[in-house]
Each structure stands twice: as C-alpha cells, then as structure tokens.
C-alpha cells in the first residue's frame, strides 16, 4: 500500500492543472466528507461540553471583527 508521504512526493511532478484535479477529486470523495463530518461532530461536542461545564463567555462581535481585520492586515484602514 502506498503511504501518504509517497503520494505527496509523487505529486511534485504534476502540472498545476493535474494537482487541482487531484485536489478536487479528494475534496469531493466520500471518505473526505465522512472525515470532515466526524471532525465537525467532535468540535461541536467539545463546545457543548464546555457549555455544560460553564466554560463560556459572552460574545463581543465588535472585538471578533477587530481581531479578524487585524489578522487580515486591514486594521490600518479607516472604518466607514
């Protein structure tokens, strides 16, 4: 069986178009969908457990926006 590292190494010689095709095939595969769904379910369960244990805090939407803009380098632009 081929390992992921071997497959990754083999893609080095692919054209950008072939890499994109491979990426799209993998992204759309049932195995990938199932894995993403399982990860999402785990993350949701973590959040629900935090809520059950009282490990929550109010959401400050303006602060979230400010941090997001700073991370994107937009913190310097004038708000309008």
Q: How far is CA 57 from CA 48, 50, 64, 66, 69, in A?
A: 13, 10, 13, 18, 22
Domain ranges for the chain: 14-71
Over range 57-62, report the average pLDDT. 92
Among residues 41, 43, 23, the alpha carbon closest in space to that of 32 is found at: 23
Q: What is the pLDDT of residue 74?
A: 73
Tokens of 62: 């303006």
Question: In this predicted structure, what is the pLDDT of residue 75?
Answer: 58
The vertex-55 CA angle with 52 and 60, nearest 5°, equals 120
Report whether 69 contacts 75 (CB < 8 A).
Answer: yes
């Amino acid at each position: 069986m081929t390992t992921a590292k071997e497959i990754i190494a083999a893609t080095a010689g692919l054209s950008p178009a072939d890499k994109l095709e491979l990426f799209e095939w993998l992204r759309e595969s049932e195995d990938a969908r199932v894995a993403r769904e399982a990860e999402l379910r785990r993350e949701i369960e973590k959040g629900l457990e935090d809520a059950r244990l009282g490990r929550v805090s109010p959401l400050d939407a303006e602060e979230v926006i400010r941090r997001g803009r700073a991370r994107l380098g937009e913190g310097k632009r004038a708000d309008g």
